[in-house]
């Protein structure tokens, strides 16, 4: 199984003689299983997963009847990265203002700074809003990163 934002794709090895499968999900290994779908292929797209929530998935192989549940596997859906990330680029003399469009489901962000794409990244802050004032910036060029929480992705400016 794997994760590809903004949805969660599940895949598994085919079962000999199976003509379809049943995909189940729960929020714990012993939790109540919900049938998500009955694909005829070995790939299923879980479009209802909430970003950042870990789920437990089971597969049943079916022909005339269905097998017992497979052992479970866990997975989660990543948050989509923030969009329209911008930095003030010299507009202010006392700060660099970083802003972005919100990422659906994000509860906070992490803003990083580095002097190059391979340089050491320094965490500047973890705002819950969609702007950040970097008051420690000195007049020079920086690369800024933005990371959403629950798990997230980094995006260079």
CA distance 22 to 39: 7
CA distance 4 to 109: 20
Give the domains, in start order, of the chain with CATH numbers. Answer: 8-75 (2.60.40.10), 83-156 (2.60.40.10)
Low-confidence spans in the chain with pLDDT less than 70 = 1-8, 141-157
| Predicted local confidence at residue 15, as pLDDT | 92
pTM of the complete model beyond 0.95: no
Contact by Cβ (8 Å): 111, 96: no
């Amino acid at each position: 199984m794997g994760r590809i934002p903004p949805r969660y794709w599940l895949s598994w090895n085919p079962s000999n003689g199976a003509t379809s499968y049943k995909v189940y999900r729960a929020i714990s290994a012993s939790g109540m299983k919900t049938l998500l779908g009955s694909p005829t292929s070995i790939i299923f797209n879980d479009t209802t997963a909430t970003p950042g929530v870990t789920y437990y998935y089971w597969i049943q192989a079916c022909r005339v009847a269905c097998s017992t549940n497979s052992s479970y596997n866990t997975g989660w859906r990543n948050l989509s990265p923030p969009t329209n990330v911008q930095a003030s680029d010299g507009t202010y003399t006392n700060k660099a203002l970083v802003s972005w469009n919100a990422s659906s489901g994000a509860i906070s962000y992490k803003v990083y700074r580095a002097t190059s794409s391979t340089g050491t990244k320094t965490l500047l802050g973890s705002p819950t809003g969609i702007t950040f004032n970097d008051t420690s910036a000195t007049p020079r060029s920086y690369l800024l990163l933005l990371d959403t929480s629950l798990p997230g992705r980094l995006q260079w400016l």
